[in-house]
């Protein structure tokens, strides 16, 4: 292991404050040394530590880090449905959802959809950009199912000519009611520009995911996205993309490979998550 030596460090980067040679080692000194010596793809693994828990949701915890612009998301195996009325555990879900989300977000980023992803730190933990979440659940549907089938009195499985989009107002006290874009703007949940950008990204995500899943023998029925705003106001894809937040049906048999197995007590819940992990990521 390379031992820190102020003189060689000075020679390498051309600056070493005088006080470094006598004073105590400070976090700033450690940061500068890490910045200089650690390759950028390894940085998060060394510098990212969970400091304070900022938030605990139904499926994830969020922690602050030394970097004010980065937080760590930790995925849990806990599952809820029907507004938290049904509770359970899906063993291994946290690790699968974390890795599947990161796998997909990295590809989406390359396809032109900015995301909050920074770096996967472990099986169930990821460093992400700190954002303020736009309080809208953005739901895209390709096939009728779930609340769409219920609200409009149709069977599940009708393939739409074109995808639909809808928003729910993320508000637990109000039970996430459906909301249209005019209402969202009236309530200052987002501006028209932000909503237009969000819709564009949501359909881009749909195009990408639909094709990716079809190649694995899976029909993308519908899914829910959340977006966030970074400190400079940029809209980025946040939250997760996983069997918790999407409906995946086997393209041949129609077998459900998502959280509906938990919601509807269909059995083999863990098996469905594992099957999706294998089909998409080969593990
Ligand atoms: P819905 O048919 O129940 O409205 O669900 C549409 C999609 O949104 C489905 O893929 C599951 C996902 N979803 C969530 O991710 N979180 C939620 O709280 C709900 C109700 C749905």
Query: Could you report the per-residue pLDDT of 84-109, keeping only the tens digit for each?
Result: 999 999 999 999 999 999 999 999 99
Count of beta carbons in the 10 Å neighbourhood of residue 217: 12
> How far does residue 251's CA lie from ligand 1's centre (Å)?
20
Closest C-alpha to ligand 1, atom 14: 245
In this structure, the residues whose C-beta lies within 6 A of any atom of ligand 1 are 139, 145-148, 222-224, 245-247
> How far does residue 129's CA lie from ligand 1's centre (Å)?
24
Confidence of residue 13 (pLDDT cuts 50, 70, 90): very low
> How far does residue 223's CA lie from ligand 1's centre (Å)?
7
Q: How far apart are CA 263 and CA 88, in angstroms?
A: 10
| pLDDT exceeds cutoff 60 at 277 | yes
Which is higher by pLDDT, 1 or 219? 219
Closest C-alpha to ligand 1, atom 17: 245
Count of beta carbons in the 10 Å neighbourhood of residue 4: 13
Average pLDDT over residues 236-262: 99
pLDDT digits (tens, 9 = 90+) for 54-93: 999 999 999 999 999 999 999 999 999 999 999 999 999 9
SS3 192: helix
- Which of 11-20, 21-30, 219-228 shows the lowest mean pLDDT across its residues? 11-20
pTM of the predicted model, to two decimals? 0.87
Atom index in ligand 1 nearest the CA of residue 223 equals: 10
Confidence of residue 1 (pLDDT cuts 50, 70, 90): very low
């Amino acid at each position: 292991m390379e031992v820190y030596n102020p003189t060689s460090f000075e020679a390498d980067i051309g600056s070493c404050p005088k006080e470094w040679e006598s004073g105590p080692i400070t976090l700033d000194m450690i940061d500068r040394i890490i910045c200089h010596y650690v390759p950028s793809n390894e940085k998060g693994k060394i510098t990212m530590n969970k400091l304070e828990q900022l938030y605990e949701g139904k499926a994830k915890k969020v922690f602050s880090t030394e970097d004010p612009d980065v937080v760590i998301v930790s995925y849990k195996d806990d599952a809820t449905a029907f507004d938290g009325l049904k509770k359970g555990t899906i063993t291994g879900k946290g690790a699968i959802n974390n890795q599947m989300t990161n796998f997909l977000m990295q590809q989406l980023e390359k396809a032109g959809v900015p995301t909050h992803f920074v770096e996967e730190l472990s099986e169930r933990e990821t460093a992400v950009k700190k954002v303020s979440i736009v309080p809208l659940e953005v739901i895209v549907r390709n096939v009728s199912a779930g609340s769409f089938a219920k609200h409009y009195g149709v069977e599940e499985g009708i393939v739409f000519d074109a995808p639909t989009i809808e928003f729910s107002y993320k508000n637990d006290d109000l039970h996430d009611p459906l909301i249209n874009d005019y209402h969202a703007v009236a309530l200052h949940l987002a501006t028209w520009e932000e909503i237009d950008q969000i819709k564009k990204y949501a359909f881009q995500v749909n195009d990408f995911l639909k094709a990716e899943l079809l190649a694995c023998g899976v029909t993308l029925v519908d899914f829910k996205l959340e977006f966030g705003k970074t400190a400079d106001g940029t809209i980025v894809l946040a939250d997760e993309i996983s069997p918790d937040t999407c409906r995946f049906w086997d393209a041949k048999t129609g077998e459900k490979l998502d959280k509906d197995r938990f919601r509807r007590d269909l059995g083999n819940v863990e098996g469905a998550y594992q099957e999706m992990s294998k089909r998409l990521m080969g593990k």
